[in-house]
Structures are given as C-alpha cells and as structure tokens.
Homo-oligomer: A and B are copies of this chain.
Amino acid sequence: MSSGEEVKIGMLGMGTVGGGVARLLERNGELLAGRTGIKLTLQRVLVRDLSRRRAVDLPPQTYTTSPDAVIRDPAISVVVELMGGIEPARTLISEALKEKKDVVTANKDLMAQHGRELLDLARRCGRNIYFEASAGGGIPLIRPLKHCLVANRIRCIIGIINGTTNYILTRMSFDDMDFQEALARAQELGFAEADPSSDIEGRDAAYKLAILAGIAFNCQVDPGELYIEGIKNVTRADIHYARELGYTIKLLAIGEEKPGGLLLRVHPALVPLAHPLASVHDEFNALFIEGDLIGEAMFYGRGAGALPTASAVVADIIDAVRSRGRGEGSPHPGKPEQKKLLPLSVLDSRFYVRFLAQDLPGVFGALATAFGDEGVSLDMIIQKRKKNGVAEIVLVTHTVSEERFQRAMEKALRLPTIRPEAAVFRVLE
C-alpha cells in the first residue's frame, strides 16, 4: 500500500445505502485518505434510471445503466454491490470476482443463501468478498468475530438483530401500545416497511443469524432450516407479566454449539432485566457472544440506516484495498466444517406460559399436576382474576427439555378448565 493511493470503486445500485456511501465519501473522504493513505473515488455507478436526481452530485458520466461498464472497467479494483435481492446481484458479483475485482456487499439475502458459494468462487479467483454490512448494518460484528475473537471457541451468539421488531417490542413495553399500534408507529418513522412480514415473522433475523453463525461456528448454514417464530403472538399482557417477573420480551436470534451440532433458532424470549440484551431498546441491535476465552461480550449499535451501513461498507472497502496489497486469498482461510443442525426438540430451556382458565376451585392444582406428572417443575407462578369468571395463570418453569415441556403442555391443554389459547415463550437463562 503506497501512501496517497487512489482507488477506483464501482458501485452497483444507488438506493439508500448507495446514497449513504456517496455522501460519506463526499463528507469524510479526505479524513479517510488522511487516516489510511487511500483515496476512494466512485468511478462508475450502476443505476436503473439515468434521469433521476440524486442527493449527491457525482459527475454525470459516473452513472451507467450497463453492469458491464462497472464490473469490466479495468480501472476499478473494488466492486460494491448494494442492489439487494438474489438476482442479478449474484451473477454480477460472480462476474466481478472473475474479472479479479474484490467485492464488498451489504446483501443479506444473498450472503445468507449463497454466501458459501460466493466465498468459494472468490477463493478460486484469488479475490475476497466482504460483507460486514449484511448482518449488522453499521455494527462491527463480522470483523470482531473473525479477527478479534479469532482464538476463541464461540459457545453461543445471541442477537437482537432486527430493528423493526425491537422497535415494536420496545414501544409495546414502554408506551403500553399493542402490536398493531406499535407497528403503525414503526411504519410512520420508517423503521418498518409497508410489507413488514419478513421482519415480523423473523425471516430477516434468521438470514442474519445464518450469516453470523456461519462466521462464529465456521460452517455453512441454510437459513431455510432454522426454527423461526415471529413476534405476532406477543401481547401487552405478556409484556406486563414478564416485567412483573423481572423480564423483558425480545426477539432473539440464537446460535449455540452443542456436542452433536448446532442449535439455531429465532423466537421471542423473556430476557432477564439485568442481562445486557435487556437494555437494547428501540431500533438498536446487539450481538451477545460467549467465547471460551473472552467469556461474555456484546456489540451494540444501529443495525440499519444509510450512514451506519455506509460506515461498514467503507471499512470493508479499505480492508479490501489493504488485503489486495498483501496478496492474501480469502479472508476466510479456515475450511468450513460440516456441522449438523440439531432439531429444536433437543433444547433445554425455561418456559413462560400464560393460561386462561375457568376461575374455579382446583383449577390451578390440576394444572400444576399436569406439569408435575411430566417432571416439569415450576419456578414462578402468578394467578390473577379477570372478568367473567376467567382466571389468568402465568407460570415460569425451571429448565426442562423442549420435548418434555411440550408433552406437559398437551396434557394441560386437555384439561376441561383450561382454554386452548395459551401463550408460550422461551426464557433466556
């Protein structure tokens, strides 16, 4: 790396994050050059519509509607893919690697579903692909996991990695909103999309978990195989009871290495109020990590947004330029290991259950017996009378296997005094 080197960047896509990268280079480009000795220039930018006005003034000849003009420009050494979606991003990245460009991408869907294939291709091409922004937006996650914790055996990662659902749950918790109100508020503020289903149903978090688990546990993870449960069933009542018991409810993405393989899951969970993840509010994200050396660590910040994401993209570009100088192959030299994904039934967990029951003598006894008979012991109990002769019974179990718990639940729900609409959430230890 020579001092004051100019590096020409090709960018595919000029949406929110692309605009963020352009603004960043305009605003902090000189600072960056002073710090790194690398001056980044946006040489060509692929757009759909040449006539559209942009927030940042680039020379008009920068824009092109031809992908080849970007990925085959010999002056360009790093291609930044910010189009999103699988195609044509996948094909264009592959072509760029074959053209001996390094690639930086913020594409979560692509890296979750085709990450390993692209990493392999990059290795074969002697180039690198960087994707820090794909999983954590602006928060440094992949680089710390890969570099700073390189000597650690990661035992588990627990993430709040979807800003939309965290914003919704925070508003439900602090402003006593119900789910629909909080969702509407998130949409107003731009924290939720018009179609929020990928966020709400946990798929977005599952994709990010697949990427992060791939790094943490050095393996390939198919996001389609994860257990996924969204936040639609979280009610204000559950949030209130959780708080009474010393917990808050968060959508967690959890990856654990167990003796037989990996257990990966996305679901809402009760988080103890003293746990660092309990203080991750609003649209913020965080990844909590347990390593055999470092113990517990957490990285916290903004998981989305134009400038935070651009911050991660540009850090990746700088890394790409520096690694190019050192002639390294892939930054992922460890061969991925084959690891089995374990079914949820092997999970040991505590459980929170809220039952609706007839307010009659003996109801609680019957319920407790149903649990006791299956060997599920109870840690905390709240029973409150609602109107119309209905009682609400909230239980938190001690640690028990998922299988055993589900058997107890079946038995409980067969009791004539217990209504079928019970709410069940797992509890983080």
Q: Measuring CB to CB, which residues of chain A are less than 8 angstroms from any residue of chain B?
A: 1, 3, 24, 27-28, 31-32, 34-37, 132, 138-140, 143-144, 147-153, 218, 274, 276, 278-281, 284, 291-302, 305, 307-308, 310-312, 314-315, 318-319, 322-323, 325-328, 333-335
Contact = CB atoms under 8 A, between A and B. Distances in A.
B308 A295 contact: yes
Given A279-B278, A279-B279, A300-B298, A36 B326 contact: no
Give 3 nearest A-B pairs by CB, closest first.
A326-B326, A140-B148, A297-B301
A147 B28 contact: no
13 contacts: A24-B293, A28-B151, A28-B152, A28-B293, A132-B148, A138-B293, A138-B294, A144-B144, A150-B315, A292-B307, A293-B308, A298-B299, A326-B327
A101 to B, nearest CB: 19
Contacts of A335: 34
A35 B334 contact: yes
A150 B294 contact: no
A169 to B, nearest CB: 15
Nearest to A139: B297
A204 B332 CA distance: 37
Given A148-B315, A149-B140, A153-B28, A300 B301 contact: no
Given A151-B314, A301-B298, A314-B150, A333 B143 contact: no
Contacts of A327: 325-326
A381 to B, nearest CB: 25
Contact of A299 (B274, B292, B299, B319): B299
With most chain B CB atoms within 10 A of its CB, the pick from A34, A308, A311 is A311
Contacts of A37: 333
Given A138-B295, A301-B295, A148 B144 contact: yes
Nearest to A3: B333
Contacts of A276: 279-280, 300
B294 A301 contact: yes
A301 B310 contact: no
A325 B322 contact: no
A165 B281 CA distance: 26
A293 B279 contact: no
Nearest to A328: B1
Given A32-B150, A150-B314, A279-B279, 17 more contacts: A1-B326, A1-B328, A31-B151, A31-B153, A37-B333, A143-B144, A144-B148, A150-B318, A293-B308, A294-B311, A297-B299, A297-B302, A298-B301, A322-B326, A323-B326, A325-B326, A326-B328
A35 to B, nearest CB: 4
Contact of A311 (B152, B218, B279, B333): B152
A305 B311 contact: no
A31 B334 CA distance: 9
